Amino acid sequence: MSNIIPDIFFPDEMPYCIWHPDVATEETHRKLSARYPELRYQVGRACAVAGYVDLYKELDLLPDVHIAEEARDNGCAEIYDIITNQPDKYDVMNDYTRTINLDNPRKACLNEDTAVRSSLEVKQEHDRDFKSTHYFDITEDMRIDTHTTPAQESSSGDATPLLYSPLPVDLPTVNKDLLILMAAYYGDIDRYVRLRRPIMIKTEYIFVIRGIFHNTMFAKWWSYQDLTKDDGRLDDKK
């Protein structure tokens, strides 16, 4: 976001991601939240990216898990602690649908469902027609660029211990997709339901089929799922 506040006339014009590729000044964000209260959580997310602790406190937001994960990724320990030290945290922002739920946000935990700013720097060269998109597209550009960058690994911790240990209430920064695939592979219903994304990740359906054939209860659970909904859960079979 630049330091120029645009005129917004319709709800469809409200942006979701205002913290990439650049972050405006703290005062610009303060004026933005005052002019457009609907953007308070986006401003709070930008505070987590830029470390604007005073402004974050002024916003008086519900402790949102996505802002917490953003603060963790950007090294803003103070905002991260403010949120995680609360007895209850909420799922207000939704990076999958790029929406803000202000009416009835559910209580939540940190579950690695946030497209943190560092992940937005992973680009893909536009050298072919894309038939499917990444489950995150908060910048609404499909991460297309003139070059391809390797998927980020350095900021993610080792997920191996979580494969043979109970999941913590708040997930650390790990390769969550690996945990999803392994939960599906073994037909672990509790893990799979908590970890899975709104759309299936690449090859997930193969692991789900294996889990169904090796775990009767997992198969029974899937028999109750409505597969007629066009929610993309069985679309990515490439």
In the predicted model, is pLDDT for residue 3 greater than 70? yes
The secondary structure of 112-126 as a DSSP string is S----GGGGG--EE-
pLDDT digits 0-9 by tens, 147-201: 777 655 445 678 999 999 999 999 999 999 999 999 999 999 999 999 999 999 9
In the predicted model, is pLDDT for residue 110 greater than 50? yes
Indicate if the alpha-carbon torsion angle 54, 49, 60, 7 is positive or negative: positive
What pLDDT is stored for residue 77 in this prediction? 98
pLDDT digits 0-9 by tens, 41-88: 999 999 999 999 999 999 999 999 999 999 999 999 999 999 999 999
Q: Give mean pLDDT, residues 96-111.
A: 97
Q: How far apart are the first and last CA of the chain?
A: 35
Q: What percent of the chain shows pLDDT beyond 70?
A: 90
User: Which two three-digit tokens encode residue 213?
Assistant: 């054939």
The amino acid at residue 174 is V
User: Which two three-digit tokens encode residue 49?
Assistant: 């990216």
Strands (E), the chain: 90-91, 93-94, 99-100, 106-107, 124-125, 144-145
Residue 196 CA to residue 111 CA, distance in Å, equals 10
